[in-house]
Amino acid sequence: MMFTRRRSRIRRRSTTVMWDRGHMEGAELGRELSLLTRVCVWGLAALALYTCVDSWDAVALVYNMLYGRVARLAFLAFSTSRVISAPPSFPTSGNGLWYTSTGDFDSWSTEWLPIGNGYIAATLPGGTAQETTQLNIESLWSGGPFQDPTYNGGNMLPSQQGTMAQDMHTIRQAIFQSPNGTIDNVEELCTDPGAYGSYAAAGYLLSTMNVTGTVSNYFRWLDLDEAVAHTMWTQDTTTFHRESFCSHPAQTCFEHINASSSALPALTYAFSAVAEAGLPTPNVTCFDNATLSLVGFVATPGMEYEILARVRTSGNAQVTCTTVPVPGGLTLNATLTVTGASEAWISWVGGTEYDMDSGDEAHGFTFRGPSPHNELLGLLTSATATSTEYSAVLDAHVADYQALITPFELSLGQTPDLSTPTDQLKAAYETNVGNTYFEWLLFNFGRYMLSGSARGTLPANLQGKWVQSQSNPWGADYHSNINIQMNYWFAEMTNMDVVTPLFDYIEKTWAPRGAETAQILYNISQGWVTHDEMNIFGHTGMKLEGNSAQWADYPESAVWMMIHVWDHFDYTNDVSWFKSQGWPLLKGVAQFHLQKLIPDERFNDSTLVVNPCNSPEQVPITLGCAHSQQLIWQLFNAIEKGFEASGDTDRDFLNEVTSVRAQMDKGIHIGYWGQLQEWKVDMDSPTDTHRHLSHLIGLYPGYAVTNFDPSIQGYVKHNYTRQEVLNAAEISLFHRGNGTGPDADAGWEKVWRAACWAQLANSSEFYTELSYAIDRNYASNLFSLYPPLGPDAIFQIDANLGYPAALLNALIQAPDVASVSTPLTITVLPALPADKWPSGSIKGARIRGGMTLDLEWENGEPTSLTIRTDQNVQARPVQIVHRGETVASFSSSNSMTKSVGF
């Protein structure tokens, strides 16, 4: 990523840029539409007073809801200036998104822009006289013990353990003895999800300015160099500039506005939950003369949350807070008013009574902590201290963001397009034609989104930290059979220090209840287990929703996450962290699966298999699913590789791992039509275009297929070579289709396919699939969409975060290996689409073994490669490969630098 632009904070605070307004041929139409708008607003206001809408700002929000598209047409009529270039102060590198019209209120998932710091987040349409900011607090969830004190994470009762053991035995025998190796359901093992809940939005912050007149020279943009959203426009001869961002150091979000004139028009700030169906009306009061306090509940009954918002100004401003009783007397509403200010900014913080540290048996799995008020007040007091200038807060935010982002930089040889707005770039994008600049921009946007959603207390969920409603698709939860994993695929390689909250979440919400699930459901007293769908309340049981085995029967979710745990250690060699957190997590999951594998009584081949199993979201309930077997094999390898560093002295455990690993089926079988089998029973269909590529997990992101070694993965009935296994994987991938099967049409399935084609060094198929995903599944605001597609399509973040990983896999590959004595192979430009990205560079890519890589290429060929090692690396053999040829071999050592020429 390139950072070629710096500018004065003073200039940012006092923007005085003016443009020639020109092109006023639409002024008369603008006046007519303006009059119509005022009539509609006053009519709605009268209606609101009669029907008890909670504030004037809420009326404006209702107006936006009812007349959003009409208002936008009016706005477009007002915006009669012809824009021919990016807005002032837009990054000269082109590293940002920009638009010339506001986002529609009813097009949240396709037009609004996100900001966030991990703890809190927001989306903005870029309004003018009124900005409507959707608010999010990362732990605001319905459900759980806050709704139902008897909620137990979807587990059976302890008294049912004996029954479960018998049911499990019956199911396993039925599968072994079935004529086709499958059964119809495992409903006996599932439980009603109960108060599972959903991640919820926290209403809106309405910032309203008393200004009228024709709007011209409108821009909104998201600066990806600095993580700041901007809106700029001219109205009534005055140019306004609003900027918004969420600071990670301050754990606070800010919205700042100034004007080219000496003073701003009167401003008001208010909260509203009117547009968020299902969210109870909160109580909004004046905490002090410049601070709003919102206290509410996400549901009735449900978790309590609080938001504090404080205004600061410069100039001879007056700030007042007015409390207004809501008719009925149950709640209050309040509004901040600012007059006479030359600039103003509002700072807001939010939190809930959720406490992840209280989600264990010692705390009764309550997840309940103290009121967030004192902590929020401390954050807000610090962020708004009179000794702290706005420019200092902004500088600290930018410095923090760039420290996270800039250690890694990617160039695809792009030429920034500063004359075409982002929505037009997206509309013009075509599969296999592409746009190098847009592809680079989408890569950077993915990193921006991870930075804004992963650095809180909780990890990034299905929508990062950005949701619109009180109840959201799939609960905006943590689906753990691809989605949460894909969120973090690129984090290590792009040197983003964002994974600690993910591992804390697993340690504190998965493991405690997961031990209970292991005991009751599986009759296993060691270790812990989780399944596919996870909330923030430790939902570790199988969810019963009809015959839901295809989603619920997934006890390998934690196994897959342990691959991320191992990868973090493999990339960083952080021994202290590994001993304290990484190893206990790995060991607990391995202990469970040591006991869960059982002898295969169907094939009677002396192997150990999982039973029952579903390949994620496939219907067959069977034995020996390739996905499960490959993952568990990789987990056991991680145990052996990490044992010495862990400081663990339990060699009986290590010996059991290596013994079971030797006996287990490795999940590698080639079927009757040449495919890599998804199940041990050869029943794959060549017409199955299922969205998941579960049996290819060992191709990408794993290594059981990519680095297949017949000496340790061989099967008594077969003698496959590595190339035969790779050929079978390619056949399976081809028959799986392009990610638009009858079961789905999502972006994440396409970028996973792109990454797999890159792993097979097929640059043509890689680029086709990657560009097809961009063409079909990304909106004008670059959100990745889940069908049905359209203005209100479902936003799902995994394709945004999977995209950078897929792209990188075409440029650098260094997959894991089964043993530290096996050479780590770094493949350079394995699937480069040379006609699209003929020249480029990577700086600061992290590689396993504590290495950092810089790479440059021209005319489709590498020109230089430099590898630097950390000070604390474990020596290991390394080889550099290009076009199938080994161009360098060496053994890594502490603080070494290795340069490779081509």
Residue type, 406: T
**Which of the four pLDDT bands, split at 50, 70 and 90, describes residue 740?**
very high
* pLDDT for 616 beyond 90: yes
- Sheet of strand 897-901, all strands in order from the earlier edge strand to the far edge: 409-411, 840-847, 851-858, 861-869, 897-901
Phi, psi of 350 (to 5 degrees): -150, 150
What does the alpha-carbon distance between residue 566 and residue 848 come to, in Å, rounded to a whole number? 11
pLDDT digits (tens, 9 = 90+) for 329-356: 667 899 999 999 999 999 999 999 999 9
pLDDT of residue 236: 87
**In the numeric block, which tokens belong to residue 266?**
């009167």
**Which of the four pLDDT bands, split at 50, 70 and 90, describes residue 80?**
very low
Q: Are strands 824-828 and 877-882 parallel, antiparallel or unpaired?
A: parallel
Please report how the helices 763-777 and 747-759 are oriented relative to each other, as an axis angle in degrees rounded to 10: 170
Domain boundaries, the chain: 9-142+199-406, 153-196+430-724, 824-901
pLDDT of residue 571: 98
**In the numeric block, which tokens belong to residue 897?**
């630098």
pTM: 0.92
* pLDDT for 25 beyond 60: no
DSSP characters over 641-690 = HHHHHHT---HHHHHHHHHHHHHB--S--B-TTSPBPSSSSS---TT---
pLDDT of residue 399: 98
SS (H, E, C) 720-789: CCHHHHHHHHHHHHHHCCCCCCCCCCCHHHHHHHHHHHHHCCCHHHHHHHHHHHHHHHECCCCCEEECCC
* pLDDT for 814 beyond 90: yes
**Signed CA dihedral, 292, 375, 348, 263: sign only:** positive
What does the alpha-carbon distance between residue 225 and residue 401 come to, in Å, rounded to a whole number? 9
**In the numeric block, which tokens belong to residue 471?**
């109840």
CATH 2.60.40.1180 is the classification of domain 824-901: yes
* pLDDT for 815 beyond 60: yes
**In the numeric block, which tokens belong to residue 239?**
């140019």
Phi, psi of 375 (to 5 degrees): -65, -40
Tell me which residue of 595, 625, 620, 591 sits closest to 610, measured CA to CA. 625
Segment (H or E) for 861: strand 861-869
pLDDT of residue 11: 30
Give the residues across from 27 on adjacent strands: none
Q: How far apart are the first and last CA of the chain?
A: 24
Task: Using alpha carbons, list the distances in angstroms from residue 162 to 153, 169, 350.
Answer: 19, 11, 45
* pLDDT for 362 beyond 80: yes
What does the alpha-carbon distance between residue 383 and residue 395 come to, in Å, rounded to a whole number? 13
pLDDT of residue 208: 98
Mean pLDDT, the chain, as a whole number? 91
What does the alpha-carbon distance between residue 235 and residue 240 come to, in Å, rounded to a whole number? 8
Residue 622 per-residue DSSP state: B
What does the alpha-carbon distance between residue 625 and residue 677 come to, in Å, rounded to a whole number? 9
Tell me which residue of 298, 194, 149, 142 sits closest to 539, measured CA to CA. 194
Residues, the chain: 902
Mean pLDDT of 308-322: 95
* pLDDT for 61 beyond 50: no
DSSP characters over 286-336 = EEETTEEEEEEESSSS--EEEEEEEEEEESS-EEEEEEEEPTTSS-EEEEE
pLDDT of residue 622: 98
What does the alpha-carbon distance between residue 178 and residue 113 come to, in Å, rounded to a whole number? 53
Tell me which residue of 765, 784, 764, 766 sits closest to 774, measured CA to CA. 784
What does the alpha-carbon distance between residue 91 and residue 228 come to, in Å, rounded to a whole number? 11
Radius of gyration of the chain (CA): 28
- Tell me the percentage of the chain whose pLDDT exceeds 70: 90
**In the numeric block, which tokens belong to residue 711?**
């000496």
SS (H, E, C) 54-115: CCHHHHHHHHHHHHHHHHHHHHHHHCCCCCCCCCCCCCCCCCEEEECCCCCCCCHHHHCEEE
pLDDT of residue 4: 30
3-state secondary structure of 814: coil
**In the numeric block, which tokens belong to residue 377?**
């007040």
What does the alpha-carbon distance between residue 645 and residue 633 come to, in Å, rounded to a whole number? 20
Angle at 134 between CA 130 and CA 139, to 5 degrees: 155
**Residue whose entry in the numeric block shows the structure tokens 């950390």:** 870
* pLDDT for 76 beyond 50: no
**Which of the four pLDDT bands, split at 50, 70 and 90, describes residue 791?**
confident
pLDDT of residue 9: 32
- Tell me the percentage of the chain whose pLDDT exceeds 90: 86
pLDDT of residue 790: 79
**In the numeric block, which tokens belong to residue 440?**
């680079």
* pLDDT for 727 beyond 70: yes
Cβ–Cβ < 8 Å for 313, 341: yes
pLDDT digits (tens, 9 = 90+) for 288-308: 999 999 999 999 999 999 999
Mean pLDDT of 227-251: 97
What does the alpha-carbon distance between residue 86 and residue 92 come to, in Å, rounded to a whole number? 9
DSSP characters over 408-463 = SEEE-S-----SS-HHHHHHH--TTT--HHHHHHHHHHHHHHHHHHSSSSS--BTT
What does the alpha-carbon distance between residue 644 and residue 639 come to, in Å, rounded to a whole number? 9
User: Which fold does the domain 9-142+199-406 belong to in CATH?
Assistant: Beta-galactosidase; Chain A, domain 5 (2.70.98)
**In the numeric block, which tokens belong to residue 309?**
């918002």
Mean pLDDT of 44-73: 38
Tell me which residue of 734, 721, 632, 727 sits closest to 693, measured CA to CA. 734
pLDDT of residue 302: 98
Tell me which residue of 711, 702, 638 sits closest to 676, measured CA to CA. 702
Cβ–Cβ < 8 Å for 117, 455: yes
* pLDDT for 14 beyond 60: no
pLDDT of residue 329: 66
- Of residues 271 and 791, which shows the higher confidence score? 271
What does the alpha-carbon distance between residue 223 and residue 87 come to, in Å, rounded to a whole number? 11
What does the alpha-carbon distance between residue 542 and residue 604 come to, in Å, rounded to a whole number? 29
> In b/e form, how buried is each residue of 650-660, taking b as 16+ CB within 10 angstroms?
eeebbebbeeb
What architecture does CATH give domain 153-196+430-724? Alpha/alpha barrel (1.50)
What does the alpha-carbon distance between residue 339 and residue 60 come to, in Å, rounded to a whole number? 20
pLDDT digits (tens, 9 = 90+) for 759-780: 999 999 999 999 999 999 999 9
Q: Which long-range contacts (CB under 8 A, 24 or more apart) does 88-92 make?
A: 88/15, 88/17, 88/219, 88/232, 89/7, 89/12, 89/15, 89/223, 89/230, 90/221, 90/223, 90/418, 91/4, 91/5, 91/223, 91/224, 91/225, 92/4, 92/5, 92/416, 92/418
Task: Using alpha carbons, list the distances in angstroms from residue 688 to 104, 621, 678, 695, 736.
Answer: 39, 16, 11, 13, 6
